[in-house]
């Protein structure tokens, strides 16, 4: 089992930054786009960055398997034996990349077995075009590096009376969120990739991020680390935690990511 320390985190940050330089080169030119079996797009950038990150992580930790969104066809009987593994999304926000919004990222996380559950314990999110780097490690805090400065992301002391700011991916999700809420004053913040919306929550620019629609475990694992370190959490519409590598499928249930776990979210969102 990998020992969580600053050296390991620094190595992962270096890998993700290197991947970001490659991604910038793809972003600067036209690239081929294909549609996968699940009707989501994939580009040559996704595939190249996936292979690049996998190779680098295997060089860093030869005994730790790597699970990538673009290389996840691994039998549950095999991965069920894993004590730890890297989980990566080589291009979180492929549609954002295609649409040229700049709001996409590279995501690397480390998941370790704790008792009967698998727990994300280290994670890095890097948006190379807007130059934002989020990183966190279990019991070591969460941080944002931006404009050459690193600052710690802090816990919310208490919720003041104000509109609830909800990060969403589209207006359709905003409409669905309103249908699921009690009589609560809200404003919506529409933004790009899933991991970057999680980052906005961790920063406190949004109180929560709600997701209607399929995502993969690679979309939420690093967010779990980031939010856990700032007093937040991730839960499904039954207010239960998400799981990692414990099912045949990697598809998450619909979820909410929150900055302040102490709020009565089950009184705010009235999911049926």
The 8-class DSSP code of residue 154 comes to -
- The answer to which of 6-10, 52-56, 69-73, 260-264 has the lowest mean pLDDT is 69-73
CA dist list (Å): 13 to 53, 55, 141: 11, 15, 15
Distances (CA, A) of 104 to 23, 81, 157: 10, 32, 30
Bridge partners, residue 136, by sequence: 123, 142
Binding-site annotation, residues for substrate: 69, 91-94, 219
Task: Report the pLDDT averaged over residues 2-7.
Answer: 94
Model pLDDT, residue 247: 94
DSSP alpha helices (H): ranges in 61-181? 76-79, 94-99, 171-179
Q: What is the pLDDT of residues 40-84, one digit of tens each?
A: 888 999 999 999 999 999 999 999 999 998 888 899 999 999 999
The pLDDT of residue 154: 94
161: confidence class by pLDDT, cuts 50, 70, 90 = low
Do residues 167 and 197 touch, judged by C-beta distance below 8 A? yes
Quick one: average pLDDT of 84-107? Answer: 96
| pTM for the predicted model, two decimal places | 0.95
pLDDT of residue 160: 63
- Residue pLDDT, tens place only, 111-150: 999 999 999 999 999 999 999 999 999 999 999 999 989 9
Please report, in range form, the residues annotated as the binding site for Mg(2+): 69, 89, 91-92, 219
Q: Are strands 164-168 and 208-211 parallel, antiparallel or unpaired?
A: parallel
For the chain, give the percent of residues with pLDDT over 70. Answer: 99
Minimum mean pLDDT range among 49-53, 124-128, 221-225, 262-266:
262-266
- pLDDT surpasses 80 at 183: no
pLDDT over 90 at 157, yes or no: no
Average pLDDT over residues 240-249: 96
Confidence of residue 159 (pLDDT cuts 50, 70, 90): low
In order of their start, the domains of the chain are 6-153 (3.30.540.10), 164-267 (3.40.190.80)
User: Which two tokens mark 37?
Assistant: 């079996």
Annotated binding site: 69, 89, 91-94, 219
Residue for token pair 């919310």: 156
What pLDDT, on a 0 to 100 scale, did the predictor assign at position 201?
Answer: 97
| Residue reference for tokens 């699970």 | 67
């Amino acid at each position: 089992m990998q020992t969580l320390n600053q050296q390991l985190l620094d190595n992962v940050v270096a890998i993700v930054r290197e991947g970001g330089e490659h991604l910038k080169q793809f972003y600067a030119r036209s690239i081929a786009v294909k549609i996968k079996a699940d009707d989501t797009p994939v580009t040559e950038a996704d595939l190249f960055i996936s292979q690049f990150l996998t190779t680098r992580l295997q060089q860093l930790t030869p005994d730790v398997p790597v699970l990538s969104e673009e290389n996840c066809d691994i039998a549950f009987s095999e991965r069920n034996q894993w004590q730890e593994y890297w989980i990566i999304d080589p291009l979180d926000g492929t549609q954002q990349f295609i649409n040229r919004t700049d709001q996409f990222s590279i995501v690397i996380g480390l998941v370790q077995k704790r008792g009967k559950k698998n727990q994300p314990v280290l994670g890095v999110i890097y948006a190379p075009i807007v130059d934002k780097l989020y990183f966190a490690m279990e019991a070591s805090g969460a941080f944002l590096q931006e404009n050459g400065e690193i600052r710690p992301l802090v816990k919310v002391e208490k919720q003041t009376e104000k509109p609830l700011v909800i990060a969403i991916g589209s207006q359709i999700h905003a409409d669905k969120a309103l249908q699921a809420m009690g009589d609560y004053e809200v404003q919506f913040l529409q933004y790009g990739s899933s991991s970057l919306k999680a980052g906005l929550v961790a920063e406190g620019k949004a109180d929560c991020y709600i997701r209607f629609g399929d995502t993969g475990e690679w979309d939420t694992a690093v967010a779990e680390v980031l939010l856990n370190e700032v007093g937040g959490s991730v839960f499904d519409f039954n207010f239960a935690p998400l799981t990692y590598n414990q099912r045949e499928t990697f598809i998450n249930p619909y979820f909410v990511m929150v900055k302040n776990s102490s709020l009565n979210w089950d009184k705010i969102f009235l999911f049926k």
